[in-house]
Amino acid sequence: MTRTKKTTAPAKTKEIGLGFITELDRYLFGQGTHYKIFEKLGAHPKTYKGKAGMYFAVWAPHAKAVGVVGDFNGWDPDAAPMSPLADSGIYEAFIPGVGLGELYKFAITTQEGMILFKADPYAVHAEFRPGTASITEDINGFKWDDAAWMETRKKADPVKSPMAIYEVHLGSWRKKDRPQKEGYYTYMEAAHELADYVKKMGYTHVELMGIAEHPYDGSWGYQVTGYYAPTSRYGTPKEFMYFVNYLHKKGIGIILDWVPAHFPKDAHGLADFDGQPLYEYADPRKGEHPDWGTKVFDYSKNEVKNFLIANALYWVENFHVDGLRVDAVASMLYLDYGRSDGNWVPNKYGENKNLEAIEFFRHLNSVLTGHLTGAMMIAEESTAWPGVTKPPEEGGLGFTFKWNMGWMHDFLEYMKLDPYFRKFNHNKMTFGITYATSENYILTLSHDEVVHLKCSMINKMPGLNGDKFANLKAGYTFMMGHPGKKLLFMGQDFGQYHEWDEKVSLDWYLADEPLHKDLQKYYSNLLHVYQKYPALWQLDSDWNGFQWINANDGDRSIFSFIRRDETGKKNLLFVINFTPVARDDYRVGVPKSGTYSLILDSEHGLYKRGEHAFSARSKKSECDGQPYSFAYPLPAYGTAIFKFN
């Protein structure tokens, strides 16, 4: 590949070529530190020599020639040739008269004389599938009015703030009864209904799947061809800005799934972009995922790292996104991930760690933090890699949070068991506490757990219909009390029966049926309790925030524990029964004398103004290794949350 020479930065910014890209731009891009490179590469409306038109620039260092093609020139590869900028691999062209909303691609002539028609890697808008062209667009000029939210975001510490995430696939959350774009809601339509639902339920954030442009619905947006383009399935870039702006004004944060691990082989995409491996590793033992049939980004190339890091900043700064959940982190960290013996390349130390990906993550997360955006970086990392959320200067990767995949696996294995067998698997629910402070965790029950014959959450539960709902209430209560932020996939809060299918809407009619409506109300109550009491989020990563009362009551499958806030004065006691056996006079140990007031249980829901009120004064009576205790009736599959000082 043509590489930029490692020279000192130019003393002065010098215009080269048409003058839109300077010598400094070229230098920074070659160093991998041009964090606004999307303002230079791609398509941008400009005026040149008094004529209005469109400026195009693309990085294609292996190309023999490059041209711009579109409706405006009959898709003729020779109609608008681009000029190379020396020693940079960048080609540029200005085409007068081209305005916004035009379809275009780059016609790249390879060294072998083949012509490849490629979508613009930096395009901010793309054609609705099955079309594959880029669209000229200007994302400047949107009038944001979420300044209060953005200012608060900069000052907040997300680790010590509440975060209850609603994971959403917009295309199947709801559908309209209309033929346009298969009934998809637009960004603007979804903003209003989604904000209302999220606010009413008590979630703090929405995490969106599949917003970057992708050609295949069945990939759920995890095989991206347009990293800078909000998918046209739901509208334009400015309509997506409206979506974010509206949710922010309603006090709701936005997290996007982001995929820097791999990309598909579609002909119009990044694969072999200029006739040779460019964005991907050239060696297929590093450059291809055998399980997924995709290409792997080459983290050794500065320009590729620049493409990705600038893309992360693009979403955070230009679209005001509050966080990025980084998909498939483990696949990036391990050179042998998904590869058999002999089909992977060790690093220079003979190990399976991808040193280039490690450096990329540290660079990426340092930049996001250094720009003082207040945005979160969340790792979907499925192994025991140490220090995922530790700062780079301490040898960590620098993420804000890590998905707790170990907790999720143990939790679901336990919840699927017939209650009789739970006593033999009690440790599955207690083990997560042993490492709860090793990282800043998010407890996740995501889309991956309700597809591919894994069953929906309600259908994972044992027993007949009523038992299933009681089981799920108990499980959700345990999750809400366990240290770590929370994430639940759409439809699971009202007990969606069938597995998630990206092609159809959720079965919203179920939310009007008694058992489903009751579950939805109970989960909403949990969310409102969660937001109200700092004990449930202020010390998630601190041992002072959690105390077992009884972690060893396996024979009865009952768990009891305390959550504390920073003051130590507004504490919560959780008691959860995972069997269908009622304990009419259940005694629980507590550390201090005082009044314990029931604020939520699975029979009555949220206690308001004394309705169904129950409180108990603890007595000097040893129980569960504690000096005080009190007794109360614990129903079958019963849950109870008490507040006390």
Q: Which amino acid is at 312?
A: A
pTM for the structure as a whole: 0.95
Alpha-carbon distance of 245 to 267, in angstroms, equals 35
Nearest to 299 by CA among 290, 311, 285, 287: 287
118 near 77, Cβ under 8 Å? no
User: How large is the average pLDDT for residues 462-473?
Assistant: 96
List, in order, residues 6 or more apart from 550 with CB less than 8 Å away. 558, 559, 560, 588, 589, 624, 625
Q: What share of the chain is helix, strand, coil (3-state, %, to 5)?
A: 30, 25, 45
Confidence of residue 605 (pLDDT cuts 50, 70, 90): confident
In sequence order, which ranges of 60-205 are alpha helices (DSSP H)? Answer: 147-155, 170-173, 187-201
Query: E strands of 454-594, at which residues?
Result: 485-489, 546-550, 558-563, 571-577, 583-590
* 323-326 and 376-379 strand pairing: parallel
3-state secondary structure of 542: coil
- Spatial distance between the Cα atoms of 415 and 455, rounded to a whole number of angstroms: 13
- Which pLDDT score is estimated for 10? 61
Pairing relationship of beta strands 595-601 and 115-118 according to DSSP bridges: unpaired
- Dist. CA 579–CA 638, nearest whole Å: 8
Strands 595-601 and 639-644: antiparallel
Q: Which residues contact 89 (CB under 8 A, 6 or more apart)?
A: 1, 2, 59, 60, 61, 62, 303
How many angstroms separate the most distant Cα atoms in the chain? Answer: 90
Mean pLDDT (the chain) is: 95
The catalytic residue among 380, 439, 493, 601 is 380
For the segment 118-146, the average pLDDT, to the nearest whole number, is 97
**Which element (helix H / strand E) includes 285?**
helix 284-287
- The β-bridge partners of 616 are 596
pLDDT tens digits, residue range 343-380? 999 999 999 999 999 999 999 999 998 777 789 999 99
Whether 301 has a pLDDT exceeding 90, the answer reads: yes
Measured distance CA(20)–CA(13) in Å, rounded? 11
Q: State the pLDDT confidence band at 16, using cuts at 50, 70 and 90.
A: low
Cβ count within 10 A of residue 158: 21
Report the alpha-carbon distance of residue 269 to residue 106 in Å, rounded: 11
- Per-residue pLDDT tens for 262-272? 999 999 999 99
Q: What is the mean pLDDT of residues 92-97?
A: 97
Residue 11 has pLDDT above 60, yes or no: no
Q: Residue 26: its pLDDT value, please?
A: 95
Q: Is the dihedral angle over the CA atoms 492, 495, 500, 504 positive or is it negative?
A: negative
Residue 503 C-alpha from the chain's centroid:
21
Q: Examine the residue annotation and report whether 448 is marked as an active-site residue of this protein.
A: no
Query: Which superfamily does 23-135 belong to?
Result: Immunoglobulins (2.60.40.10)
| Cβ–Cβ under 8 Å, residues 175 and 183 | yes
Which DSSP symbol is given to 339? -
Amino acid at 208: L
Band (pLDDT 50/70/90 cuts) for residue 4 is very low
What is the pLDDT, as a whole number, of residue 589? 97
CA angle centred on 172, ends 328 and 257, rounded to 5° = 25
Q: Are 644 and 626 in contact (CB under 8 A)?
A: no
**What pLDDT is recorded for position 12?**
52
359 as an active site residue: the answer is: no
Contact, 204 vs 104, CB < 8 A?
A: no
Q: Alpha-carbon distance 412 to 476, whole Å?
A: 11
Helices (H), 346-462: 355-370, 405-415, 419-422, 427-430, 457-460
d(CA 472, CA 497): 13
Q: Which of 606, 446, 409 is nearest to 522 (CA)?
A: 606
Rounded Cα gap, residues 513 and 527, in angstroms? 21
pLDDT at 448: 96
* Strand ranges in 79-219 using DSSP code E only, listed in sequence order: 83-85, 90-96, 103-109, 115-118, 134-135, 164-168, 205-208, 212-213
Cβ of 582: how many Cβ atoms within 10 Å?
Answer: 13
Q: Rounded CA gap, 364 and 376, in Å?
A: 12
pLDDT computed for residue 13 by the predictor: 54
Q: What are the backbone angles phi and psi of residue 26, rounded to the nearest 5°?
A: -65, -40
pLDDT of 393 above 80: yes
Q: Which residues contact 369 (CB under 8 A, 6 or more apart)?
A: 398
Q: What is the pLDDT of residues 208-244, one digit of tens each?
A: 999 999 999 999 999 999 999 999 999 999 999 999 9
Distance CA 532, CA 537 (A): 10
Kindly give the pairing relationship between strand 115-118 and strand 103-109.
Answer: antiparallel
Whether 15 has a pLDDT exceeding 70, the answer reads: no
Distance of alpha carbon 425 from its chain centroid, rounded?
31
Rg of the chain over Cα atoms, rounded to whole angstroms, equals 27
Active-site annotation holder among 327, 410, 540, 601: 327
- Residue bearing the bigger pLDDT, 211 or 182: 211
Q: Is the bond into 130 cis (omega within 30 degrees of 0)?
A: yes
Contact 327/222 with Cβ under 8 angstroms?
A: yes
Q: What is the DSSP string of 262-273?
A: EE---TTSSTTT
pLDDT for 610 equals 58
Residue 557 burial by CB count (10 A; 0-12/13-18/19+): exposed, middle or buried? buried
pLDDT in tens, 526-566: 999 999 999 999 999 999 999 999 999 999 999 999 999 99
pLDDT at 632: 92
The rounded distance, in Å, linking the Cα atoms of 54 and 288 is: 35
Cα dihedral 537, 539, 541, 547 sign: negative
